[in-house]
Structure 1
Amino acid sequence: MRLLNAKFDSQLDLFFEFLKFEKGLSDNSLLSYQSDLKRYIDHLADLGKSSFTEITRDDLRKFLKSLFESGLKQNSIARSFSSVKNLHKFLVSRNLSEVDPTINLERPKTLRKLPEVLTKKEIQDLIESPNVNTPTGLRDRAMLETLYATGTRVSELVNIKCRDLISNENILRIRGKGSKERIVPISDIAIEWINNYKINSRQNFIKINASHSDPEYLFLNTRGGKLSRVSVWRMIRAHAKNIGIEKKIHPHTIRHTFATHLLEGGADIRAVQEMLGHSDIGTTQIYLHLDKGYLKSVLEKYHPRGKYVQ
């Protein structure tokens, strides 16, 4: 990351320590901040700035204009602005700057795209696609069952430890964004496949591990180590391709499908919010746009004159 001088270096180091240790952000979130702030620092260099205290609101407007002119996507521009805003807010809170130039500066709007979801038949076919007669296939089946049963993020799935599953109570402990923990219910079917994997597949992976030590993580790669989220993403896409699903598959596809199918089935949106680990219910509400039939059924069921709605 190209910086301008030691003063920028020291203040940015403090900011990233704050994000990592006090806010508990993940490595992926820290990398996003690093990418956003590199653009900002490069822009400040072009303006001849040597201190954050010199930055004016006009400088911020020029920065946003440069992002638009570069062809950056609207959501990426909004994220970059948020990163810069959080940086200046931090500097003021630590008395490293007297003025926050982002105050009263309107945040760029984001485009809220509706997530791609699978039909009930597609998700069933996807879950059943791995060859469970092989160790990796049995592991993949257990992971797919867990993803659809709990709605966890892929990044959360790879961090599940064996002790996080409490089978006799049908609950799973999840470590989410910002190191926040939540407890989610998990079905008997998912638990059955997890236990099958632990007995007939996981031990084989541990034996391959050079140290022969159990890494504690529930789902392991073929070398007996922790799975990466990228490898899980590739696994999901490969199985989807094998069964002819042409929809664009990404890490959150099963999570989106989980939430949408729950709401279609009549689940309360606040219960879905809790299971997904959303701090803001507005994030969960995007799934309501996917199922107009659900909204109509709610109106018909609970509104005094809802039965007249056509």
Structure 2
Amino acid sequence: MTEAPTLADYIEDFKKFLMYERNASAHTLRCYMGDLEQFYDFLCPPNAQGVRRQVSIHDIDNITIREYLATLYEKKKKKTSIARKLATLRAFFRHLCREGVLELNPAQLVASPRLERKLPNHLTVEEAMRFVEMPDLETVLGKRDRAILEMLYATGVRVSELVGMNLEDIDFRNQCVRVRGKGRKERIVPFGEHARKALELYLGVRGQLLAHAPEDKREPNCVFFNYQGTRLTTRSVGRLIDKYIRQCSDLHHISPHSLRHSFATHLLDAGADLRAIQELLGHARLTTTQQYLHVSTDRLMEVYDRTHPKA
């Protein structure tokens, strides 16, 4: 008689679904699996001998999930973290419903924690110009950093998309770049003259970085390298941006994502269509892009209050 699949089996099946059917990135996969492993540890804790008790997938209901979330609140976890873990469970059980394992998704009956809506931090046009021009163009790494900052602001790409760029993705003739976004979806994003010049300046010295790469880690098609000649990581770009933030005493409110927010806000302020900005940013839903409407409305009210004689 064949044993019924365990919760661990279903989690492993969901992992394969994300990898092979959804083409999830390594970061997305790590987040999903981390959340599900915590849920598994809650439901099936090991005894003194390290043996876990098993729970039937059919015995997990909305009460079970609420009890799990209650333990997260007791541990003082952030509401944003709890909301993400609940979203992971909804995706997991939705997959089981599609596969015919369950009829109803128990996580759908659990309300998400109410989150405080935060508007994205962004730079003014003057701050953005000053920030991207900070790197020292007399050094190889300075040329690289200038190209990175120019591309982030010129295209609005995510840092993960930037570090994944290869040489064949860049079309200098048409000044656009092919970007691989979430779910491996591709989009074409244009970039301006300043970004083009910064890229060409960097590509002229890029080989000096590649020369440091060990043979087994050499990626000749990669665009952005670290000082060891291997592909930059998102964490490395975060540290790079932090370095320049420390040199700008008045810009401590920004993050690597702030250049993306600035890109979208400045386009919207200049009259760009919201749908076009959605395409450029690679947002699956227009509601995600609409957050920038709040930013622009706030700025519009500031201008009105400052300039209108009857304000």
TM bucket, shorter chain:
0.7 to 0.9
Distance 1:175 1:269, change over 3 A: same
Is 1:240 equivalent to 2:245 in the alignment?
Answer: yes
**TM-score of the aligned structures, taking structure 1 as reference length:** 0.88
CA-atom RMSD in angstroms: 2.5
> Deviations along 1:89-125, whole A, 9 cap, x unmatched?
1122223334432243333333321111112222111
Quote the offset at 1:219 in angstroms: 1.0
Which residue of 56, 61, 80 maps to 1:56? Answer: 61
In structure 2, the residue matched to 1:179 is: 184
What are the ranges of 5 or more consecutive residues in structure 2 without an aligned counterpart? 46-51, 302-309
In structure 1, the residue matched to 2:44 is: 45
Query: Is the 8 Å Cα contact of residues 57 and 102 (structure 1) preserved in structure 2?
Result: yes
Alpha-carbon distance in 2 for matches of 1:25, 1:75: 21
Alpha-carbon distance in 2 for matches of 1:24, 1:11: 18
Is 1:134 equivalent to 2:139 in the alignment?
Answer: yes
Distance 1:164 1:99, change over 3 A: same
Distance 1:62 1:232, change over 3 A: same
In structure 2, the residue matched to 1:301 is: none
Aligned length: 296
Q: Supply the AA of the counterpart residue of 1:158.
A: V
Query: Is the 8 Å Cα contact of residues 215 and 226 (structure 1) preserved in structure 2?
Result: no
Which residue of 293, 300, 305 maps to 1:288? Answer: 293
Is 1:113 equivalent to 2:98 in the alignment?
Answer: no
Query: Is the 8 Å Cα contact of residues 128 and 141 (structure 1) preserved in structure 2?
Result: yes
Alpha-carbon distance in 1 for matches of 2:260, 2:104: 41
Query: Is the 8 Å Cα contact of residues 11 and 36 (structure 2) preserved in structure 1?
Result: no
SS in 2 for 1:117: coil
Q: Supply the AA of the counterpart residue of 1:25.
A: A
Alpha-carbon distance in 2 for matches of 1:196, 1:112: 41
Q: Post-superposition, which runs of at least 4 consecutive aligned residues in structure 1 deviate over 4 A?
A: 46-49, 293-296
In structure 2, the residue matched to 1:278 is: 283
Alpha-carbon distance in 1 for matches of 2:300, 2:22: 36
Alpha-carbon distance in 2 for matches of 1:141, 1:13: 42
**TM-score of the aligned structures, taking structure 2 as reference length:** 0.88
Quote the offset at 1:61 in angstroms: 1.9
- 1:1-310 maps to which residues of 2 (within 5 A)? 7-45=6-44, 50-199=55-204, 201-211=205-215, 214-292=219-297
Alpha-carbon distance in 1 for matches of 2:281, 2:299: 19
> Deviations along 1:181-226, whole A, 9 cap, x unmatched?
0001111221111011111x20111222233955311111112110
Q: State percent identity of aligned pairs.
A: 36
Distance 1:292 1:92, change over 3 A: closer
In structure 1, the residue matched to 2:48 is: none
Distance 1:37 1:214, change over 3 A: closer
Distance 1:238 1:56, change over 3 A: same
Alpha-carbon distance in 1 for matches of 2:107, 2:213: 51
> Deviations along 1:122-169, whole A, 9 cap, x unmatched?
211111111111000000001111110000000000001111111111
Query: Is the 8 Å Cα contact of residues 266 and 294 (structure 1) preserved in structure 2?
Result: no
Quote the offset at 1:77 in angstroms: 1.1
What are the ranges of 5 or more consecutive residues in structure 1 without an aligned counterpart? 297-308
Alpha-carbon distance in 2 for matches of 1:260, 1:95: 44
